[in-house]
Amino acid sequence: MKNLKGKTAFVTGASSGIGLAFAHALAEMGMNIILTARSTEKLNQEANIISKKFRVKTYVVACDLSQKETPDKLYQFVRENQLSVDLLINNAGFGKWGNFLEETIPTYENMLEVNINAVVKLSHLFLPEMLAKGEGGIINVASTGAFQPCPYIATYAASKAFVLSFSEALYGEYYKRGITVTALCPGNTATGFQEVAGADTSKMYAESAETVAKEGIQAFIQGQNCKVNGMGNNLQSLIPKFLPRKMVIKIVEKMMNKRVNAQ
């Protein structure tokens, strides 16, 4: 899908960070935007800014994707407003840094509901109409953490490995039918994610959310199955393929341990 003007994008986690950057970048290209996140006030504020700045239509629906029924409610919102989603951006997600046992089971359940189940459900709900039109697509935000085991963010990284594999599998199933599914794999990005995760990334280079989103959109337009942001992150994603698995685990553990214990 190369021409986005006049079409509609559905963006999760759209109130800040990469999700908000996606909303702005797509609106600048002429897309109407459905924004969803938990904060109604923040969503309304950003939707007003986008609609006035780019002269596109915006729609707001506040929700919590950690609730199992939320994807169905979002789909119902789209149907009730007689909208047609051409591009789904599964951006919402969160993680926690620290020893695996330091977090509770409910925290991990919520994380997996947002990072995995919501991605699967929303993809399953919106793909049929795209297939009927013969065009459309999905950008799923994964992470460079998807390419190797990551001690101290074990569950988060594993959830992003799922997103990467799931996205590329869907790409394989549907690209011949006019549907592009792109896995976007950013590294450290300047968003509010780090604060929620309890991560000390102050000494790490951080890409801007705007750059990450724009590169993701360009990769999607070009029909790419996977996009890793930045030369350094590309190199990082390739190195584990050439090293013994145990060595990779030990290297990543050493890197992550420094950041966890710096708290």
CATH code of 167's domain: 3.40.50.720
Domain that holds residue 17: 8-260
- Token pair listed for 58: 């915006």
C-beta separation of 252 from 151 below 8 A:
yes
Q: pLDDT tens-digit profile of 41-81?
A: 999 999 999 999 999 999 999 999 999 999 999 999 999 99
- Flag whether 151 is in a domain: yes
- Flag whether 73 is in a domain: yes
Please tell me the pTM assigned to this model. Answer: 0.90
Q: pLDDT tens-digit profile of 164-213?
A: 999 999 999 999 999 999 999 998 765 555 454 454 555 556 689 999 99
Q: What is the domain count for the chain?
A: 1
- Flag whether 1 is in a domain: no
CA 57 to chain CA centroid, Å, is 22
- Flag whether 48 is in a domain: yes
C-beta separation of 36 from 70 below 8 A:
no
- Flag whether 165 is in a domain: yes
- Flag whether 2 is in a domain: no
Residue 78 C-beta-side C-alpha neighbours within 13 Å:
25
C-beta separation of 188 from 204 below 8 A:
yes
Provide mean pLDDT across the span 86-107. Answer: 96
CA distance 199 to 111: 16
The reply to whether 59 belongs to the active site is: no
- Flag whether 160 is in a domain: yes
Q: pLDDT tens-digit profile of 131-154?
A: 999 999 999 999 999 999 999 999
Averaged confidence pLDDT in the chain: 92
In the set 59, 156, 171, 174, the catalytic residue is 156
The pLDDT of residue 150 is 94
**What's the pLDDT band for 83 if we cut at 50, 70, 90?**
very high
- Flag whether 44 is in a domain: yes
The pLDDT of residue 262 is 56
**What's the pLDDT band for 237 if we cut at 50, 70, 90?**
confident
C-beta separation of 22 from 11 below 8 A:
yes
